A = this chain, B = another copy of it.
Amino acid sequence: MFMKSVGLIVEYNPLHNGHAYHLQASKKASGADVAICVMSGYFLQRGEPASFSRRTRTEMALAAGADLVVELPYAYSTQHAHWFARGAVSILDDLFADEFYFGSEAGSIQNFHELDAFMQNHHSPLQKNVRDHLASGVSFPAAQAKAFHDVDPPEHLPDLSKPNNILGYHYVKAARQLGATINANTIPRIHAQYHDEVLPEGQSIASATAIRKILSKHADVSLIRPYVPPMVYEKMEQFYEKGQPMHTWNDYYQFLQLLLSTRSSDALAQIYEAEEGLENRFIKTALKQPTFQNFMNTAKTKRYTWTRLQRLAVHMLTGTTKTDIDKVFGSEARPRDIRILGFNEPGRKYLNAVKNRTPLSLYNRPPKRKNTQQTLDERAARAYFAILSGTKRVEKWQDEYAQPPVYLEKED
């Protein structure tokens, strides 16, 4: 390969200094010419609408140093860690990225490989323990974490109760299971924890969650200035000047309520992730609760994680059925048709170099005749912009979804 490349798996919701650090550090550590980001589109892994649109986040990624941004299709982006990781790693491998870097609480890739091996070696007892813990009524991730501790893992293995370690483990496992030639790597996360909601004073690193919280509570966008790269900040300022709101779940709750209160429970049971009568619990709850926060607090049980339930709610919005996902995954569950979201000049050169060799079918704009994976992406975009009114919805949808990739000219 004439250009060395490094891959990152991102959501950038929004892109902050921690992300920018990770991007630059990955490029430096790998000595890569080109950084490829696989980015989720309109709905994210935790079952939330992206606060900022796909195009905006693509521009942020390029501004922060990404050379090529491609989309992680909806069928993989709003998913359990297992499918999310498999989709993303598969794309990076098929784009011939030499390695990929993920951020983790435990910063050594060797430990992740050992964890993966340990999990394989203890497969049967782990499975049994997971079943036992599930039977006691806890959630699947909690059962996994407990099962893991039950088999007494060596202390240096990454702790599977931390979200970024879970993702990291699934990345490493996915690469192995896919027989990928791409090498996994990790960079220790600095300062902010994934779920931190408080902005650390006098520091330049804050979590995306903390940044979104500030933006949703205060009209003053300048409060986030210390925590995002200057070019991202400029973009956010423009965004706020135009009066474009962040998309939050509460904006979509009225739609969810309509669906839950008018569709039959048989129809809702066909939605992906509607298991064990969750659709009936959702129906009952939606009829009584005035806000999405109340809805989630009431629908939540020990058995299902918040993110698991949010993903189900997203699939209801987008009308994604079990049959749809079965069709997309087929026999191999590897994404094949990948949309290019943006690139700069090195990214363009890289694309030209790989386009005839990659097993992926790369495309700039959605084709007229869409396969099921592309249909789900389209529906996600439509659902995402459904909260806007009148002509704005139609315009935005065309602007953000039907346009060619973002091209960032090199600034010299």
**A residues bordering B, Cβ < 8 Å?**
254-255, 257-258, 261-264, 267, 287-291, 317-319, 321, 324, 375, 379, 382-383, 386, 389-391, 393-394, 397
Task: Name the CB-closest residue of B to A250.
Answer: B390
Each complex incorporates copies of this chain amounting to 2
Which B residues are CB-close (under 8 A) to A389? 254
Check A262/B393 contact, CB under 8 A, given A254-B386, A382-B287, A386-B254: no
In the complex, the answer to whether A290 meets B391 with C-beta atoms within 8 Å is yes
A380 to chain B, nearest CB (A): 8
Report how far A411 CA is from B147 CA in the complex, Å.
Answer: 73
In the complex, the answer to whether B262 meets A379 with C-beta atoms within 8 Å is yes
In the complex, the answer to whether A386 meets B318 with C-beta atoms within 8 Å is no
Q: Please, could you name 5 A-B residue pairs with CB atoms under 8 Å apart, sorted by A?
A: A255-B258, A261-B382, A264-B321, A267-B319, A290-B390
Which B residues are CB-close (under 8 A) to A318? 262
In the complex, the answer to whether B383 meets A262 with C-beta atoms within 8 Å is yes
In the complex, the answer to whether A261 meets B379 with C-beta atoms within 8 Å is yes
Interface centre among A258, A288, A317, by most chain B C-beta atoms within 10 angstroms, is A258
Report how far A289 CA is from B395 CA in the complex, Å.
Answer: 10
Which B residues are CB-close (under 8 A) to A382? 258, 261-262, 287
In the complex, the answer to whether A390 meets B291 with C-beta atoms within 8 Å is yes
Check A393/B264 contact, CB under 8 A, given A287-B382, A382-B287: no
Task: Name the CB-closest residue of B to A321.
Answer: B264
A393 to chain B, nearest CB (A): 7
In the complex, the answer to whether A263 meets B390 with C-beta atoms within 8 Å is no
In the complex, the answer to whether B319 meets A386 with C-beta atoms within 8 Å is no
Report how far A276 CA is from B82 CA in the complex, Å.
Answer: 42
In the complex, the answer to whether B257 meets A393 with C-beta atoms within 8 Å is yes
In the complex, the answer to whether B261 meets A383 with C-beta atoms within 8 Å is yes
In the complex, the answer to whether B319 meets A262 with C-beta atoms within 8 Å is yes
Report how far A360 CA is from B391 CA in the complex, Å.
Answer: 48
Task: Name the CB-closest residue of B to A258.
Answer: B386
A23 to chain B, nearest CB (A): 33
